[in-house]
């Protein structure tokens, strides 16, 4: 199976220096776990030094499509990704102006399914199953057939450590490419956010009292003052079980 991984330099949040993006690194690690035929692609105007981190962290060879600054990378990437079974990229570029749109645009242009924000991919029957990361730790399983595009979540495992030897051996091959102009950005005035209205106007202290006092039968709170620590813990555990907040 031929996999293409798309990478781009990230901006370090403290120093502003170019470095590898977490999501792109995770995509690289995932690709190397799945296949031995992995090609790494970059499109844009960054110089080789900005891509060095990817060499040091496992990419033997990066194909760099040199575009002039400010051009759209979509067309250039699509032209080299046609024959590839699986395209993996970070869900969004690390730092900078990344809109996170690229995976969607790629899937649309290449006419493939997109598995967004995946943590892991595994094969079952003829399909590829993805474990998708949703906010607040929620996980969901998606599936699609090859060829496909998957964007990898920044929290997916990136196992390969940074190695000076790999940095020295790695190569960046520049290829000339033509980028299209970025589509015109339409700026709209921001819509005013609706002000939040509190459900009740009582103070925080009063609400806390309401939650724990429970004397007037107003809330379900219990205050446990009797018993030793084990009995008290049992009450908490029962409560958590009752509300299915723990499952043991």
Partner 1 sequence: MSFSLAHALTGLFWLGALLLLGGLARRASLWQQGRSASVSWLGLLAMPKRYFVDIHHVVAREPAVARAHVAAAGGGVAILLLSALNYGLMLYQGWLDVLLVLMAALMLLGARMMQARRLQAPPRLSQGRWQVLPARLRLFALGSLLAAGLLFAGPQLGMAGQLIAVVALLMLALGGAELALGIGLGWPMKHAVAGLLHLAFHPRAERFAAKSSDLKPLNLAAGELGVAKVEDFAWNRLLSFDACVQCGKCEAACPAYAAGQPLNPKKLIQDMVAAQSRGTDPAYAGNPHPGREAAVMVQPGEDIVGSVLAAETLWSCTTCRACVENCPMLIEHVDTVVNLRRHVTLSRGEVPGKGSEALANLRNTDTVGGYPLAVRYHWAIDLDLPLLQPGEQTEWLLLAGEGAFDMRYQRALRALVKVLKAAGVKVAVLGAAERDCGDVARRLGDEAGFQRLAQANIATLAQYRFARIVTPDPHVFHCLANEYPALGGQFEVWHHSKLLEHLLARRAIPLKADATPLPPLTFHDPCYLGRYNDGYHAPRNVLKGIGIKVVEMPRSGRDARCCGWGGGAAFTDIPGQRRIPDMRMDDIRETGTGRVAVACPNCTAMLEGVVGERADVIELAELVAERLA
- The reply on whether position 50 binds partner 1 by CB under 8 A is no
Is 112 among the residues that bind partner 1 (CB under 8 A)?
no
Q: Which stretch binds partner 1 (CB under 8 A): 7-15, 77-85, 211-219, 240-248?
A: 7-15
Query: What is the spatial distance between Cα 155 and Cα 21, in angstroms, rounded to a whole number?
Result: 11
Q: Among 95, 75, 72, 91, which residue's Cα sits nearest to residue 149?
A: 91
Cβ closest to partner 1, residue 169 vs residue 178:
169
Among 78, 131, 146, 160, binds partner 1 (CB under 8 A): 160
* 9 conformational bin, left if phi > 0, alpha if psi -120 to 50, beta if neither: beta
146 binds partner 1 (CB under 8 A): no
Number of residues that bind partner 1 (CB under 8 A): 14
What is the rounded CA–CA span in Å between residue 238 and residue 145?
45
Q: Select 155 or 166, whichever has its Cβ closest to partner 1.
A: 166
**The 3-state secondary structure of 88-142, one letter per residue:** EEECCCCCCCCCCCHHHHHHHHHCCEEEEEEEEEEEECCEEEEEEECHHHCEEEE
Member of 111, 161, 189, 204 binding partner 1 (CB under 8 A): 161
Binding to partner 1 by residue 217, rule CB under 8 A?
no
Q: Which of 164, 187, 201, 216 binds partner 1 (CB under 8 A)?
A: 164
Report the residue from 8, 51, 57, 147 that binds partner 1 according to the rule CB under 8 A: 57
Tell me if 59 contacts partner 1 by CB under 8 A. Answer: no
Select from 166, 209, 214, 219 the one that contacts partner 1 (CB under 8 A). Answer: 166
d(CA 33, CA 18): 26
Q: CA angle at residue 67 from 61 to 68, to 5 degrees?
A: 140
Contact between 162 and partner 1 by CB under 8 A: the answer reads: yes
Residues 182-201 contacting partner 1, CB under 8 A: none
- End-to-end CA, the chain: 42
| Contact between 81 and 113 (Cβ < 8 Å) | no
Nearer to partner 1 (CB atom), residue 17 or residue 123: 17
191 has which bridge partners? none
- Contact set with partner 1 (CB under 8 A): 12, 14-15, 17, 19, 56-57, 160-166
């Amino acid at each position: 199976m031929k996999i293409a991984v798309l990478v781009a330099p990230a901006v370090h949040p403290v120093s502003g220096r170019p470095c590898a993006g977490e999501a792109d690194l995770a995509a690289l690690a995932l690709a190397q776990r799945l296949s031995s035929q992995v090609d790494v692609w970059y499109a844009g105007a960054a110089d080789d030094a900005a891509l060095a981190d990817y060499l040091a962290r496992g990419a033997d060879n990066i194909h760099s499509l040199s575009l002039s600054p400010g051009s759209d990378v979509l067309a250039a990437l699509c032209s080299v990704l046609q024959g590839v079974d699986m395209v993996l990229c970070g869900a969004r570029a690390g730092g900078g102006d990344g809109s996170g749109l690229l995976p969607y645009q790629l899937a649309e242009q290449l006419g493939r399914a997109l598995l967004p924000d995946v943590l892991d991919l595994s094969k079952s029957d003829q399909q590829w199953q993805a474990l998708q990361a949703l906010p607040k730790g929620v996980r969901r399983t998606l599936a699609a057939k090859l060829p496909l595009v998957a964007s990898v979540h920044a929290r997916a495992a990136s196992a390969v450590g940074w190695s000076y030897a790999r940095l020295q051996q790695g190569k960046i091959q520049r290829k000339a490419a033509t980028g299209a102009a970025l589509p015109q950005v339409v700026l709209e005035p921001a819509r005013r956010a609706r002000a939040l209205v509190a459900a009740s106007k009582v103070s925080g202290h009063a609400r806390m009292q309401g939650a724990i006092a429970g004397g007037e039968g107003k809330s379900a709170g219990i205050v446990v003052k009797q018993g030793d620590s084990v009995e008290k813990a049992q009450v908490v555990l029962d409560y958590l079980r009752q509300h299915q907040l723990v499952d043991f």
